[in-house]
Structure 1
Amino acid sequence: GIILISSALFCDALIGNFQEKMMKKHNASNAEIVLYSYFVGFIYLLLVLLVSGELIDGTTFCLQNPVTYAYIFLFSLSGFFGVQAVLSLIRTCGALVAVTVTTCRKALTIVISFLLFSKPFTFQYVWAGLLIVIGIYLNVLGKTNHIDLKTTLKNSRNILGNVRKRRKSPMVV
């Protein structure tokens, strides 16, 4: 579970940064970003469904239970509005803020699920909550104490270069 949620957070951050880059580079609209972001996934899932035979089973189920079409429509509509909200957040505030907000939303969803549904509470939930709070704190700290990474790396290379030059010169006693 930890590996899966970590992978999901990594991919969430990756897609957010990629979408922000494409918005700036190509001045793409939200609709274009949604189209290109989800088209590859759609093709992949369609192929998997065709090969596994699940597409036929799913279609048969929907034909037998027509209310499923309404559920699919409502789920898709709410997903569309959610994606539009995240893309608007990326466009106005940047990918880092968008990923932070979506992570907080996920944490809030977990807290609400504890309040609505009874489940055993373990200390691991406390550690996970602390990690989320620390991550948000580091995010805010990084924004308030902005350090230019390129300049820092360049300065460290210069310092290392000077140390190497000194080693090559003969020692004077």
Structure 2
Amino acid sequence: MSPGDGASNGGELAAAPRKGLPMEVKLVICVLGIYSCYMLSGLLQENIFRYRSEDGGRFSSTLFLLWVQCVVNVAFSFVAMFVNGRSGDKMPHHLFGTAGFAYIGAMVCSIEALKYVNFPTKELGKSCKMIPVMLFGVLFAKKQYSLQEYLCVALITVGIVTFNLSGKPHNKEDKENSTYGLGLLAFSLILDGVTGSAQERLKAACKPTVHEMMFFMNAWALAILSAAAYLSGQAVEGYAFCSANPSVMSYVLGFSLAAAFGQNFIYYTISNFNPLVCTTITTTRKFFTIVCSVIIFGHAIGPKQWGGVAMVFTGIGYEMRGKYQRHHAKNLKA
């Protein structure tokens, strides 16, 4: 239940479809909610790191930013637990600690990468979670995958390579920074896989509600971040920079609130439809976020790079098509 995406790990937490509004209306609510919240969150995140103060300073306190986000998530999920009730199961906090550590590590790497790569590159990279999932599955779980799945991963990989090699860095330092940023994105994807694995163990050990999962993961992440931000000095640095530049603080709060609301739209989607619908919405959202970022911030993306973007989302779409076919076949058998 990663805060940035959250679509891939919540299926087992889904409730039975609810009565009330027509399903078509619910789908519109889901699409508009996820699109608006995560597109706003992404654009505000880009604003935070593009901002320049009067003396040329820039925001660099990633741990402070994530600390604020976790505070908002903890507060939001606590209120939701109070309103909706709890499962009553005993929570295995050692597993929540592991999941929280991996989850916050993935977020740190993802946001740090934004200092070294542009936002479209970050969004494109974070769209490719099936690559580390398959890699971990083959190397450690000895899983077997279909030819279609291997072709999807190959197409996505070629698309990413095309996108990054077709860019035109302004100087040698830009190229080195870009390589470092891509490394951070890759490590973030690996930690996303660890987070998903930890969540599976959690759901096997107990039956937390979606907001219990959100609360305890963010509470552990908040404890880790509080210590890290204090010891690194980023807590003081981040607060001082935001105090001197109130517009940045508004971006930070807006980013955190939009992400928290976005998680709840994801839960709403899963509970009323299924994880495949949620994955489709969140994946197409990433594409439109890239387009909006290019339009609003004027990123220079050439035809070859757009070709790379097309290859990535074609591969993802082909993989989702296979999932829909398997899901449909399973329903027919049932």
In the TM superposition, 1:1-173 aligns within 5 A as 2-5=182-185, 7-8=187-188, 15=195, 26-65=206-245, 69-116=249-296, 117-145=298-326
Percent sequence identity over aligned pairs: 25
Cα deviation digits, residues 55-95 of structure 1 (max 9, x gap): 11223334445565544433322121011112233344444
SS in 1 for 2:253: helix
Q: Distance in 1 between matches of 2:280 and 2:325?
A: 15
How far is 1:13 from its partner? 6.5
SS in 1 for 2:300: coil
- Counting matched residue pairs gives 148
The verdict on how the C-alpha distance between 1:98 and 1:53 changes in structure 2, with shifts beyond 3 A counting, is: same
Say which structure is richer in helix.
1
Query: Does structure 1 conserve the Cα–Cα contact (< 8 Å) formed by 2:276 and 2:323?
Result: no
SS in 1 for 2:208: coil
Unaligned runs of 5+ in 1: 149-173
Query: Does structure 2 conserve the Cα–Cα contact (< 8 Å) formed by 1:89 and 1:98?
Result: yes
With normalisation by structure 2, the TM-score equals: 0.36
Deviates most, 89-98 or 6-15: 6-15
Query: Does structure 2 conserve the Cα–Cα contact (< 8 Å) formed by 1:62 and 1:69?
Result: yes
The verdict on how the C-alpha distance between 1:12 and 1:104 changes in structure 2, with shifts beyond 3 A counting, is: farther
CA RMSD, Structure 1 to Structure 2 (Å): 3.6
- Larger RCO, structures 1/2 (Cα 8 Å, 6+ apart): 2
SS in 1 for 2:257: helix
Q: Distance in 2 between matches of 1:81 and 1:137?
A: 29
How far is 1:53 from its partner? 0.9
Deviates most, 83-92 or 103-112: 83-92
Q: Distance in 2 between matches of 1:97 and 1:16?
A: 19
How far is 1:110 from its partner? 0.7
Unaligned runs of 5+ in 2: 1-180, 330-334
Equivalent residue, structure 1, for 2:82: none
Equivalent residue, structure 2, for 1:165: none
With normalisation by structure 1, the TM-score equals: 0.62
Q: Distance in 2 between matches of 1:61 and 1:119?
A: 29
User: For the pair shown, which has the larger CA radius of gyration, 1 or 2?
Assistant: 1
